[in-house]
């Protein structure tokens, strides 16, 4: 039984490592496409890539793209991460534009 659990743990660890590296690549590529002055850590880049992958693949599934393959899945993941970065940048710009510069203004 312990050999089985060790094998499952090894597979799960490998799966997790591959997904973290993939999310890092997706997030980094999306940040290269949409560069900015934002200070973004490696962890934030991984989260951007992970969430972008979810958004991209959900939208692709909703429009009927069921079998994307590795290249297609990576592409829609980068597109999803790009859209998230763009939405975040627009949200921050509108938030900073709506705040008064002096108190009571």
Q: What average pLDDT is seen over the chain?
A: 83
Confidence of residue 101 (pLDDT cuts 50, 70, 90): low
Q: What mean pLDDT do residues 36-57 have?
A: 87
Regarding pTM above 0.85, the answer is no
- Kindly tell me the burial class for residue 71, based on how many C-beta atoms sit within 10 Å of its own C-beta (0-12, 13-18, 19 or more): exposed
Tell me: the pLDDT tens digits for 7-25?
776 777 777 788 888 899 9
**Taking 90 as the threshold, does the pLDDT of residue 78 lie above it?**
yes
11 CB-side CA count, 13 A: 6
Q: What does DSSP assign to residue 24?
A: H
The Cα 52–Cα 80 span in angstroms is 4
Where are the domains positioned within the chain? 2-95
Tell me: the pLDDT tens digits for 49-59?
999 999 999 99
């Amino acid at each position: 039984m312990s050999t089985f659990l060790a094998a499952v743990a090894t597979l799960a660890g490998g799966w997790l490592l591959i997904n973290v590296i993939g999310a890092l690549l997706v997030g980094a590529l999306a940040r290269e496409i949409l560069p900015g002055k934002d200070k973004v850590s490696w962890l934030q880049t991984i989260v951007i890539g992970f969430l972008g992958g979810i958004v991209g693949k959900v939208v692709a599934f909703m429009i009927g793209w069921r079998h994307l393959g590795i290249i297609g899945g990576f592409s829609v993941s980068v597109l999803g991460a790009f859209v998230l970065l763009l939405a975040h940048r627009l949200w921050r710009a509108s938030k900073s534009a709506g705040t008064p510069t002096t108190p009571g203004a």
